[in-house]
Structure 1
Amino acid sequence: MTGPTSCSSAANTSRHGRSKSSSSYCHSRSGAECATSTTTNNAGRSSGEEDEKDGGVPFYVNRAGFPIESVTWERMWAHVARAHPDGQEMVDKIRNAAHLPKQPVPSVPNFKPSMSVPDWLHAVQNYMKNLQYNHTGTQFFEIRKTRPLCGLMETAREMIRESLPIKCLEAVILGIYLTNSLASVERFPISFKTQFLGHHFHHVVLGLYCNGRYGTLGMSRRADLMDKALSYRTLSELVFEFEDSYRRYQHSVKKVKIGLYVPHNPHVFQPIEWKYLVLNPCRQGHEDMRKELEKHGRDMRMKVRRGTWPRHEDEGEVWDTAET
């Protein structure tokens, strides 16, 4: 982890000789995606410090890039001290340590012509798992969802260079980058908005389509809310499987957003379409959702066959971070 000092980090040691936090930041009372039961004291924070919220809990975004600025570094540690059960004692123990063991950097998978598509997807998912899920309360890589694809691919290369823990949105961008060479695999974002104990939570995975089967890549604290094998015959089967998984954690799915296929050319100056189809499971019946999902799947496949894609207005412009 690239920080301003040589003796900084949190509960598990980082791959750059510093450590990363094992705080309970993303740990809801149900144990489901991206939440915490810790109440954060927001008093005294200046405007702009609280970058995003999920489940009513703030998390920060490192918007200044690398090396990490001192203000971002100290803000992360202050959050860890508030959120971790051992608090400041844990932080001081790590930051004042004379020596911290250096962790190995995960090797980027190398695609070989002899590898099958499932084998390559498995290698990509294992690589992301080895980076580990980020529990520090600070997202290390800023993902602006309206940024052109070519710019997001540069962020993916930065993730590989820094080799730091990532969260679900970062995993989608990294997954796109690592599968660009698989022309037979179409990729598209699938986003979920859920509710638990009065709070709303957001999650996103990378949908996959290959040879008539659907699956996903992604990152989550829960194994059944991330990668799924290319074994689902229809898009609705895949989405309903996620809905069932959320139900096991007492989360009710409020919205499902399905994007369009992402081009395989990493140099295109076009943003990803994140929410071409928006479904509301609370208002729509199971059969209505199934019909809309199957129609969307057919439409996407036809657009690829015909080589037609919706035009994006102002696709060269970059805005502030969109809803995650």
Structure 2
Amino acid sequence: MWMHVAKVHPKGGEMVGAIRNATFLAKPSVPQVPNYRLSMTIPDWLQAIQTYMKTLQYNHTGTQFFEIRKMRPLSGLMETAKEMTRESLPIKCLEAVILGIYLTNGQPSIERFPISFKTYFSGNYFHHVVLGIYCNGRYGSLGMSRRAELMDKPLTFRTLSDLIFDFEDSYKKYLHTVKKVKIGLYVPHEPHSFQPIEWKQLVLNVSKMLRADIRKELEKYARDMRMKILKPASAHSPTQVRSRGKSLSPRRRQASPPRRLGRRDKSCRIYSPRVLAKTAGVQALTGDEVERRGSCSKRSWSVGGFSTALTFGGAGWLQSFGTSL
């Protein structure tokens, strides 16, 4: 771990040696969580939140202390943010986004949305995320990074494209090429919401686009976000409505509705002479002893000299049959 810290920390081995060779190390301080006061302006409040994050410091150990699952409901992520304030451990960029959402809850004038970057440098790809801020017609950001130019931005940018281009210019200072930019939707201010954060509603392959086209796409998206006409991608997928007391398991399918009688079933039924004879209490007849005559609705039989006419489809055919016999 120390070798990794010496490699990635801005002060490198000097900082590692100062810690490992120290005879006495003071107990780490626990920074106080900032509280919003009515006398504070929104820029002052955002600066207080960013100062608190910087006090926690960036995590250079290579090990993330808090598990952040992006598809987890917002309520669960807010519980993780509370744990961050209790433990006061160093955080990375993704943890800073969740902490920023938690600390800005309850301020409806502040709209929060995630901004993700994919960059390329020296044969490797790198990922970074910050929390975009929109308030009173101005854009800014909150976040954490190893580089000061790649985390918080003041609330001074008039358009979303100006904010993104400023990040792109900051990456160029460190010889990084921005490949993709992903922008999510506004995060609701309801901390108990079961809705997950929408991380990538808009994806721009900026390395293959002109700045004019990028600006056009970003401004259209920003306008739609302000009008709040965009919906999460998960909202477009059809959902199953579970009825009360019934399982949605495919093994327990709903019983098929009763089959309606067809046109043929509504007409007369052809009963065999053997069935008719048993029903009437007479001896079963063979085909030679029975002569069928008449139409479908009325048939005649000759049984041992007796003859009768049966009307099918009616309720009194059995009585007529027994009387004639």
The normalised TM-score by structure 2 is 0.67
Match of 1:210 among 113, 130, 135: 135
Query: What is the CA–CA distance in structure 2 between the aligned matches of 1:309 and 1:268, rounded to whole Å?
Result: 16
- Residue in 2 aligned with 1:111? 36
- Residue in 2 aligned with 1:230? 155
Q: 1:188–1:260: 8 Å Cα contact kept in structure 2? A: yes
Query: What is the CA–CA distance in structure 1 between the aligned matches of 2:232 and 2:52, rounded to whole Å?
Result: 33
- Residue in 2 aligned with 1:310? 232
Are 1:271 and 2:196 counterparts? yes
2:105 match: secondary structure: coil
Query: What is the CA–CA distance in structure 2 between the aligned matches of 1:26 and 1:290, rounded to whole Å?
Result: 35
Q: State the Cα distance separating 1:282 from its structure 2 match.
A: 1.4
1:253 match: secondary structure: strand
Query: What is the CA–CA distance in structure 1 between the aligned matches of 2:120 and 2:50, rounded to whole Å?
Result: 27
Are 1:291 and 2:212 counterparts? no
Q: Alignment identity in percent?
A: 66
Q: State the Cα distance separating 1:24 from its structure 2 match.
A: 2.7
Q: 2:73–2:193: 8 Å Cα contact kept in structure 1? A: yes
Count of aligned pairs: 236
Q: State the Cα distance separating 1:23 from its structure 2 match.
A: 3.4
Q: 2:198–2:232: 8 Å Cα contact kept in structure 1? A: no
Greater RCO, 1 or 2 (C-alpha within 8 Å, sep 6+) = 1
Q: Larger Rg: 1 or 2?
A: 2
Query: What is the CA–CA distance in structure 1 between the aligned matches of 2:165 and 2:63, rounded to whole Å?
Result: 31
- Residue in 1 aligned with 2:164? 239
1:138 match: secondary structure: coil
Are 1:189 and 2:189 counterparts? no
Query: What is the CA–CA distance in structure 2 between the aligned matches of 1:111 and 1:24, rounded to whole Å?
Result: 38
1:151 match: secondary structure: helix
Q: 2:116–2:127: 8 Å Cα contact kept in structure 1? A: yes
Instruction: Specify the code of the residue in structure 1 equivalent to 2:116.
Output: S
RMSD: 2.6
- Residue in 2 aligned with 1:79? none
Q: 1:175–1:206: 8 Å Cα contact kept in structure 2? A: yes
The normalised TM-score by structure 1 is 0.68
**Per the alignment, do residues 25 and 103 of structure 1 end up closer, same or farther by CA in structure 2, a change over 3 Å counting?**
same
Instruction: Specify the code of the residue in structure 2 equivalent to 1:101.
Output: A
2:86 match: secondary structure: helix
- Residue in 2 aligned with 1:318? none
- Residue in 1 aligned with 2:126? 201
| Structure ranking higher in helix proportion | 2
- Residue in 1 aligned with 2:7? 24
**Per the alignment, do residues 111 and 10 of structure 1 end up closer, same or farther by CA in structure 2, a change over 3 Å counting?**
farther
Q: State the Cα distance separating 1:103 from its structure 2 match.
A: 1.9
